[in-house]
Structure formats: structure tokens, C-alpha cells
Amino acid sequence: MSELFDAVDALVASRSPLPSAEERKRLRTAHGLTLDEVAGALQVRRATVSGWESAKKPTEPRGPEREAYARLLRQLAELYPAPEEPAAEVPATYTSASAPAEAQTVPATPTPETGNAQSAAAIPAPATSSRPARVTRPKSSEPGRPAAAKPAPSTTPAGDTDPRFENGPLAVVDVEDGKVLAYCTGGLVLDVPAKSVPALVDWTLREAKLGQPKLSGPGKDADPLLVLTEAACERYGLPTTLTEEERLAGRLPEGHKVVKQLARAEWKLTKRGFGPWARIYRPAQGSERACVQLCIPSWHALDTRHWGEAGQLPPAELARVLGVYASRVMTPRGSTAVTGLELMTALHPATRASEPDADGKRHSEHNPGSLGKDPVDPAPCEAPDGHPLLKDLPRFHVRGPAEKLFEEAYDWARPMTDAECTLRHLVGIDVNMAFAAGANGLTVGLGAPTHVRAPVFDPKLPGSWLVDLSHVDLSKVKVGKEWVDLDGSLLPSPFTPKGERPEGPAWYATPTVAYAVELGYEVRPVEAWVRRENGRYLDGWYNRLRDAYLATMADLGVTADLSPADFLTAMDGYRDRDPELGLVVSAVKATVKGGLGKLRERPRGEGWRPGEPWRALSRPTWRPDIRAAVISRTRINLHRKIVKHAAFTGQYPVAILSDCVVYAAGGESPLDFLPYREGKPLPGGFKLGINPGLVKHEGTQSVLWGEEVRERFDAPELNLARYIKDGTVTDADNGE
């Protein structure tokens, strides 16, 4: 009889009621349990538990697992009862006891430093709870339409859906319980019938309805992106990891069976072959493109320096991260650096359709404001070492400042004064999206340079200028319309990355020379390479990335209208509120820096020798002059704030690394040394806020820590800005 009772109990348990998927995850995370811990306790796979929390109907727990899972959830529900009202979104503001009652909000007026806060506020932000509402679509009976298998999480902003791409820009392909599934960004999971990679490409183009509309009128629609998990790689005959030889080559060998399958099916691969970011295509027929991009995280397609642990996420969560990035930036085209460069072209395509001719036909013509479709040579001073323009230089010749444009970010530090050593803390502040802010409103060259002898300097003309700025004395400079006296020995020179005063003529980008004039000093260039065809090429690029950054930070509870003290509170642990959106923030920042870095991409092996061209030189977007101008303006923007801060407060920086500045202060907060009066910041100085160009708290360490570190390495000018965030300095740094 007892066996019958046990059987009845098991039968009842097999139908144990379970809370909603959102509640399941809430209970797990409330107790601090990871997916791996729950999976281990229930003796199932991690992906299975993730599926239960994603409300995927075919993977509802059954039998003993369901009974045990229900028991776990009941116990957690007793410890963490659900709130009586629906959980609120992350608050828009965070109150702080130290916030001044009459604090003024950060201005939303668009400027080269703040950007346009209003445009970001206008972006509809998805809810910032751990998961949004599910999207359910019925199984379709339409021919050629993929079946909707089951719903999955989504926080991708819906917006207006192009019917051609109604399932979003991308999908993560996985295998579970023997079935191939495509997790889309809109909360949809599709059944994938394809049995091979060629069939998968064909299904994607014919039935999946994946892709993204073009970002500009003359542009092209984004190709669909498929992200293959390890399980999907195994299913389609691909290795889950690359061998050392394959990793160094960046691709599978030509003889691999999948590469042969694609060739037999008349699919082609781009020059980079079948690697972590593979593009599979057939030649376009008119305006119709046939191209699919693959991303393989287990082949290190998603660099952990920029995407964190995104490549380790379950399929639905990975689709969410990449989907938010795609909707706000663009569908990834490769690394964040590649995508940053591609975004420039997507917003300013090289060509456009002409007006109809006499026969009513349109032709391809240059798109005004773009860089064109043909590459241009840089000026000799702008060319990096090894460039073909420099092939006639003597071997081992080292070019000095009078031969080479050297615009780079700051890496400067100085010993602390006796007065600074009496203070207790070193406080670091960091400029938000500093290089993006440097690109905003910047006029850059669009065409080839023109050489000019003894030119009259024009601050509105982009180019490179050979000029002597050694006479600029930082002890007496103009701030606005007034001359002020400063301690120049405590300031870095604005003209060199190391902060050293120049010793004679050197090449500078236009923003650097213009700043010397702004400080009140005359400049007389010896020669210049100027670009008379110019424009604000990067404005659209900046706006797109700024809006992506601000919208994602707003989802994390950090908005542009917070008071200084509330902003500092909101920034404290903002990534923990939604780690997946935190990954998107990191990727957006990396897109800015990487895209600008690609403008001067160096040789990447391939048997290159100095004096020979390398692959990147064939791109019209290989423009070291634009990169130099952005870095120049970014460094000058920072120095201008430092000078105004010194003139107003008498405080000078101790160290600067790129966009991070360290000051000695009596307290631990930036508010202990930034000159706010009744909530109003110093005009033109440092301002706390989330907009690009404003600053946030980078980290605080003690003055004793700084002195001990410098003493340990016997380096009185060790750059403390490099370590201010967490204070960790290892012996391997060896006094860098």
C-alpha cells in the first residue's frame, strides 16, 4: 500500500504549481543563488534552469526535478515574500543626505562638452527590472514563415518594426533537448530546421526575417547576425574552440569540411575567412544583398575587455545584450572597434543615387559630407612609422617632433607638494565618454591635404601645423578675457602627452594650436598640411553613441537631471542593478575608443615589412589625421578645465592618465574639492554628471597610499591615476 501512496505522491508532485518565470528568478537572486548552484542541486544543466526562468514552455520541469524545484521555490517564497504591489522600476533619482537643498540640475543645453541631454531623455527606456514582459507569438501557418517555438526575455526597444526584419537584427542559435533554436531579440525563439551551415545561411535569408534597416538614406540595410553557441557549433560540424594555429591565423583552414560545404553551395567568404566573425555571402544581384554574418563567442569573438562575460551568458540573455546594443548602436560587424568604424560609414555612406538623367536612370555619385570611396594619402608628418610615404628614410631613423605629428592622450604625473601631503585623500575624477565629447562638433578634413608654406593660422581649418609653442608660459595665461597668474610648475603642458614643455617647432593638430592662441599667445606656423574640403563628419556618429550611452545609463538609474550628490549616489554600484545592461555600457564605450583607433590601424602581421602598404591603407576610413584631431581636442578640453579649476581654487592635479585626473583633497568625495556653490558648478570647469564631457568619481585612495606606492617603486612621479580606481599596484607594474 505504501508503494501506491508513493506513486500517488509522485504523480501529484509532477504537476506541482510553479510561480511565473519572473518570480522564479526573483526568488533565486533574492537568496543570492547562481544558476550553476541551482542546477547542481537539482542535477540538471545550467541552461535548463535558465530555460525555466525564461518561461520556455517545452522545458517546464517535470517529474522529480519539478517536485524538487517547486520545493525550493516554496521555501524561498517563505523567506522572500512577493511585494503587494508590482516592483517599481529603478528610481530616476537617488536622494542623498549630503545633497544641497537648492542643488541645480546639470544643464541639458547641447554643447561640445555636455551633448544634448534632451535628445537622450526622449528615448523610450525599457523597464529596468531583471526581465521585461514576455512576448508571445502564435505558431504561423504562413508558408515560408518560421514557427515560433517559445517566448523568451526581451528588453530590446520595440520601435517601428520593418516587416522584412520583424524578428530583430540578430539571433543566438543554440541546441537544447536535440532541437536547434534561434533566440531573437524581441523575446521570440524560433525553431531552426537547417541541418548544415549552408542550409542555416539559406534559412536565415529566406525565412528568419532577421536584419536591421539602414541608418541613413543612401546606406544599406544591416545583414542578419547569427551567434552560434558551443552546442550549435557541435551540431553544425564546427569546433567549439580554435587550435593555436587556427587562432593565430584567425580562421579555419581552407580544407575544413564546413568551408568546403559552403563552397559547394556556392557561398563565398570574405578575405578574413571563416573566423570568429565570418561573413558568408553571394554576389549582390542589383540592390538585393545575400549576406549573413556569424559570431562565435567560444572563438573569442566577444572580447572580454569590452564585452565582459557576455560570451558566457545563456542564449536568451546574450540575445538581450546584443539586441540592446544593436538597436541603439548598430548590429555588430565584428569587434567593437570594427563596429565603431562601420558606424561612421553607415551614417555617411561614400556614395548615393544621383538624380535621374535624361533617360530616367540614376547613377552612383559622391555623397557630400562623406570620406568618399577612395583612400587618400596622409601628410608625411601624419603617416605612422613604416608607411610607404616614408620608405626613403634611412633605416632606423627616428623622427622627432619636427617630423612627426604626435597627438596622444595624457600620461603625466608630478611629485606632491608639502601642502598636498598634509591632506588625507587622493580623489580621481574621470571624464565620461571623453573621446566622444572630443569628436562632437569637430571639423575634420574630408579629402586629401594641401601643403602650405608660412601659412597664417586659421583655427577653423583642419590640418597639421609645424609651429614653435615653446614660448607659451603657463604661469601667465588668459582665462576668458582676463590674464591670470598660475603656478606653471604644477601644470602639465597642453602641447605634449607627457606634459613636458616643447623645446622647439613641432607638428600639432588644429585644436592644439588654437588653444595656444586661446591662452593669449601668438603663433607663427612654419608650414602646414591643411584640408580645405572639410566638415563635421563625426557629429552623427557622436550623437548615435551618446544617445546609446545615455539611454542605457538611464535604464540603470543614472539620468542627466540628477543633482551632483544624487548623481554620485546613483553611480555607486550602477552595474549591479542590471549586469547585462552594464555589459552594453562597456561595449558602447569600447566602440568609441576602438572606432577612433581604427582610423590609424597599424599592420597586423600578414608578412608586412616597413615601407610596404598594409591592408588598412586601402580603406577611405584610414584617416590618422581625424584620429589626431579628436585626441588633440580631447586633451585640450581637459587642460582647459584644469586651468579654470586652478585659477578659481588654487588646486592643481597630481596625475593625469588619458581622461582621469587625480587631486589631493581633504575629503573622499569629488564634492570635497570641486567648486559647487548652491549646486552650481564653476562655469567651464569640472561638472559632475552623466553627459559626455562631464565627470564622475573614478576612485579615492589615501595620500599615505600614494606616497607608499611611489616610495616602493622609487618613482616620485609614478602616475597614480593608473591605480586610483581600486588602489591595486603589483610588482609587475615596476613603476609604470
Are 162 and 301 members of one domain? yes
State how far the Cα of 406 lies from the Cα of 402, in Å rounded to an integer. 10
* Domain stop point among 311, 332, 353: 332
Look at residue 336 and tell me whether its pLDDT is greater than 70: yes
Bridge partners (DSSP) of residue 227 are 172, 295
Rounded mean pLDDT, 560-585: 96
Q: Is the pLDDT of residue 343 over 60?
A: yes
Residue 585 within a domain: no
Residue 92 is predicted with a pLDDT of: 37
Domain count, the chain: 2
Average pLDDT, the chain: 86
Q: How confident is the model at residue 71 (pLDDT cuts 50, 70, 90)?
A: confident
Mean pLDDT confidence for 529-551:
97
Angle CA 322–325–330, to nearest 5: 110
- pLDDT bin (cut points 50, 70, 90) of residue 20 is confident
pLDDT of residue 519: 98
| Averaged pLDDT for residues 641-664 | 97
Whether residue 207 is found in the same domain as residue 318:
yes
| In-domain check, residue 356 | no
Q: Specify burial of residue 668 (Cβ count, 10 A radius: 0-12, 13-18, 19+).
A: middle
Burial class (CB in 10 A: 0-12, 13-18, 19+), 501: middle
Q: What pLDDT shows up at residue 84?
A: 56
Tell me, yes or no, whether 319 lies in a domain. Answer: yes
Structural domain ending residue among the three candidates 79, 102, 127 = 79
**Whether 620 contacts 374, CB under 8 Å:** yes
CATH code for position 51: 1.10.260
Q: Where is the domain boundary, 310, 332, 354? A: 332
Please check the confidence at residue 186 and state whether its pLDDT lies above 70. yes
Domain shared by 203 and 290, yes or no: yes
pLDDT (mean) for 578-589: 97
- CA dist 254 and 305 (Å) reads 30
d(CA 29, CA 53): 11
> Can you tell me the mean pLDDT for 572-589?
96
> What whole-number distance in Å separates Cα of residue 148 and Cα of residue 181?
10
Nearest C-alpha neighbor of 319 from the set 127, 137, 190: 190
Structural domain contains residue 280: yes
Q: What is the pLDDT of residues 663-693, one digit of tens each?
A: 999 999 999 999 988 778 999 999 999 999 9
Residue 478 lies in a domain: no
Task: Let me know if residue 502 belongs to a domain.
Answer: no
Residue 188 DSSP SS3? strand
Q: Percent of the chain at pLDDT above 90?
A: 69
Give the phi and the psi of residue 529 in degrees, each rounded to 5: -115, 110
Does 654 map to a domain?
no
- Condensed to tens digits (0 to 9), the pLDDT of residues 256-300 reads 999 999 999 999 999 889 999 999 999 877 667 899 999 999 999
Residue 554 C-alpha cell reads as 538611464
Lowest mean pLDDT among 71-80, 147-156, 711-720: 147-156
Could you tell me what percentage of the chain is helix, strand and coil, using 3-state DSSP and rounding each to the nearest 5? 35, 15, 50
Give the three-class secondary structure for 655.
strand
Which range of residues forms the domain containing residue 67? 2-79
Q: Is residue 197 part of a domain?
A: yes
Backbone angles phi, psi at 308, to 5 degrees: 60, -135
The confidence band for 26, taking pLDDT boundaries of 50, 70 and 90, is confident
Return the closest-CA partner of residue 150 out of 5, 346, 315. 315
Across 431-451, average pLDDT: 97
Task: Taking the CA atoms of 415, 419, 424 and 426 in sequence, report the sign of the dihedral they define.
Answer: negative
Per the CB < 8 A criterion, the answer to whether 330 and 339 are in contact is: yes
User: Is a pLDDT exceeding 50 seen at residue 131?
Assistant: no
